[in-house]
Amino acid sequence: MDWDTQYELMKAGRPVTVAGPSHITRSDHTRHDSDEGDIPMGLPSRDQEGGRRRADFLVDEEEVILTPLEQLTRHWMNERHAPDILPAQEDLLTSLLDHLRRQSEAVQLLREDPSTSEEEHIRIMLVQTEVERVKFIVRSYVRTRLFKIEKYARFVTTNAEVQRRLTAAELDHASRHAKITDQHFYVSVLQGLPEKQSHLDDTPLFVPPMVTEPDKSRPVFVHALKQCPRIRLPDGAALDMEKGHISLMPYAVVEQLVARGEVELI
Partner 1 sequence: MALPQSLRASVIPPELELIASQQLVEIVPLISMEKTAFISGAYGPFRPPNKAKIPLWMAVNLKLKKKCHIVAPAWLNADYLQERLTEETLQLSFSKLPFRFTEISKVILDVASDDLENPDKIRSLLKDLREARQAKSREGLKTLDHSELSLPNLCSMEINEIRPYFVQSMSILTQLVRNPAPDPLPNV
Listed ranges 152-160, 189-197, 206-214, 232-240: which one lies at the site for partner 1 (CB under 8 A): 232-240
217 binds partner 1 (CB under 8 A): yes
- Give the number of residues in contact with partner 1, rule: CB under 8 A: 71
C-beta of 4: minimal distance to partner 1 in Å?
Answer: 23
Listed ranges 1-9, 119-127, 155-163, 191-199: which one lies at the site for partner 1 (CB under 8 A): 119-127
239 binds partner 1 (CB under 8 A): yes
Q: Which amino acid is at 97?
A: L
Map the chain to HEC letters: CCHHHHHHHHHCCCCCCCCCCCHHHHHHHHCHHHHHCCCCCCCCCCHHHHHCCCCCCCCCHHHCCCCHHHHHHHHHHHHHHCCCCCCCCHHHHHHHHHHHHHHHHHHHHHHHCCCCCHHHHHHHHHHHHHHHHHHHHHHHHHHHHHHHHHHCHHHHHHCHHHHCCCCHHHHHHHHHHHHHHHHHHHHHCHHHCCHHHCCCCCCCCCCCCCCCCCCCCCEEEEEECCCCCCEECCCCCEECCCCCCEEEEEHHHHHHHHHHCCEEEC
Contacting residue, 5, 129, 158, 212, with partner 1 by CB under 8 A: 129
For partner 1, give the closer residue by CB, 133 or 179: 133
Contacting residue, 126, 180, 187, 200, with partner 1 by CB under 8 A: 126
CA distance 186 to 109: 54
Long-range contacts of 12-16 (CB under 8 A, 24+ apart): 15/46, 15/48, 15/49, 16/65, 16/66, 16/67, 16/68
Listed ranges 6-14, 45-53, 164-172, 189-197: which one lies at the site for partner 1 (CB under 8 A): 45-53
Site for partner 1 in 189-208 (CB under 8 A): none
C-beta of 199: minimal distance to partner 1 in Å?
Answer: 26
99 binds partner 1 (CB under 8 A): yes
C-beta of 6: minimal distance to partner 1 in Å?
Answer: 17
87 binds partner 1 (CB under 8 A): no
Listed ranges 159-167, 190-198, 201-209, 249-257: which one lies at the site for partner 1 (CB under 8 A): 249-257
Contacting residue, 5, 94, 108, 140, with partner 1 by CB under 8 A: 140
C-beta of 232: minimal distance to partner 1 in Å?
Answer: 10
170 binds partner 1 (CB under 8 A): no
For partner 1, give the closer residue by CB, 93 or 100: 100
Contacting residue, 20, 40, 87, 214, with partner 1 by CB under 8 A: 40
